[in-house]
């Protein structure tokens, strides 16, 4: 479908200091991207800018060749945004709302929607207002994953989901997506995204401090645990149980990327990107 291209983008809420400044970013299709950041880092605002709900103050933003703030019908039918809070009409059932929504999304797959609601154990006939927060969340996620949209934006998708629903969401996300779809997931529940992401972006102090493919992180870094300090660690964190550390990977076995430790390192100012072989962008 094309790309999302951000060039030198700046954004601030009226009367507030800059939230983003000089952001550069390109998202190709076929990736699940995790957007990580502390509370208030701007993750939700970033998604809303991509969805055309907030407008950048500076720079360029193009989503598949469209300018989101123009909110053209051709753009809107390619973007599905699931906010953290319920966005569904409370007086309708999931099934009734799906019928209203479907004509706006040409590739909406009704069978997938029905299957996902079953999988998520949500009653499609029940009015939204009678569903729990987690069940409402699952209706929104089922809609997004069935929408066929080229860009799917999920704000804290696992917030409010129980353990088995988180696992079901991860599995369905990977199985339902096609190569021409891009998903951006904003979250601070980092562990919930394990084994799901193709790429991670860490937003901190108005900048993207790390933007890297998970495969590159796993190739270039070694994530370990030791009872004592490790002398050549790039970053380490001690707890009562021992020391978690990140090393540059040379001959060590490949390890699963510890996203939480990576996040702590990057937000502590460690120039992790300089240890990677194929970094997408580096602003540290």
Alpha helix ranges (H) inside 31-188? 43-50, 73-76, 94-101, 110-119, 133-146, 163-176
Which two three-digit tokens encode residue 163? 């353990």
Judged by CB under 6 A, which stretch of 12-20, 61-69, 240-248, 271-279 contacts ligand ATP?
12-20
| Shortest CB 53 distance to ligand ATP, Å | 10
Among positions 188-227, residues that touch ligand ATP (CB under 6 A) are: 188
* Beta strand spans in the chain (E): 4-11, 20-27, 32-37, 58-63, 79-82, 151-155, 182-187, 199-204, 207-213, 221-226, 235-239, 242-248
Residue 13 is a binding residue for ligand ATP (CB under 6 A) = yes
| Shortest CB 132 distance to ligand ATP, Å | 20
Residue 17 is a binding residue for ligand ATP (CB under 6 A) = no
| Shortest CB 186 distance to ligand ATP, Å | 6
| Shortest CB 263 distance to ligand ATP, Å | 13
Binding residues for ligand ATP, how many (CB under 6 A)? 12
| Shortest CB 33 distance to ligand ATP, Å | 15
Residue among 46, 86, 48, 53 nearest 71 (CA)? 53
**Side-chain half-sphere of 66: how many Cα atoms within 13 Å?**
21
Cβ burial of 195 (10 Å; 0-12, 13-18, 19+) is exposed
Query: x/- site string to ligand ATP, residues 26 to 45, per CB under 6 A?
Result: -----------x-xxxxxxx
Binding site for ligand ATP (CB under 6 A): 13, 16, 19, 37, 39-45, 188
């Amino acid at each position: 479908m094309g790309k999302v291209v951000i060039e030198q983008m700046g954004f601030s809420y009226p009367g507030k200091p800059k939230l983003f400044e000089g952001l550069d970013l390109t998202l190709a299709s076929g990736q699940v991207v995790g957007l990580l950041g502390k509370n208030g880092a701007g993750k939700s605002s970033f998604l809303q800018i991509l969805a055309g709900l907030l407008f950048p103050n500076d720079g360029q933003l193009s989503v598949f060749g469209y300018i989101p703030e123009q909110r053209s019908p051709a753009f809107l039918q390619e973007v599905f945004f699931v906010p953290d809070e319920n966005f569904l009409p409370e007086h309708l059932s999931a099934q009734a709302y799906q019928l209203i929504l479907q004509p706006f999304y040409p590739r909406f797959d009704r069978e997938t929607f029905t299957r996902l609601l079953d999988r998520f154990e949500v009653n499609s006939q029940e009015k939204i207002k009678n569903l729990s927060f987690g069940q409402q969340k699952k209706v929104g996620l089922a809609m997004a994953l069935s929408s066929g949209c080229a860009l799917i934006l999920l704000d804290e998708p696992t917030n409010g989901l129980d353990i088995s629903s988180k696992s079901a969401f991860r599995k369905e996300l990977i199985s339902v997506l096609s190569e021409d779809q891009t998903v951006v997931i904003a979250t601070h529940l980092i562990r919930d995204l394990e084994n799901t992401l193709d790429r991670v972006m860490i937003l901190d102090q108005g900048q993207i401090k790390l933007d890297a493919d998970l495969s590159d992180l796993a190739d270039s870094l070694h994530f370990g645990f030791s009872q004592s300090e490790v002398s050549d660690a790039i970053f380490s964190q001690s707890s009562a149980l021992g020391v978690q550390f990140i090393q540059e990977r040379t001959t060590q076995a490949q390890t699963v990327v510890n996203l939480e430790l990576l996040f702590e390192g990057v937000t502590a100012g460690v120039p992790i990107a300089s240890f990677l072989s194929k970094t997408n962008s580096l602003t540290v």
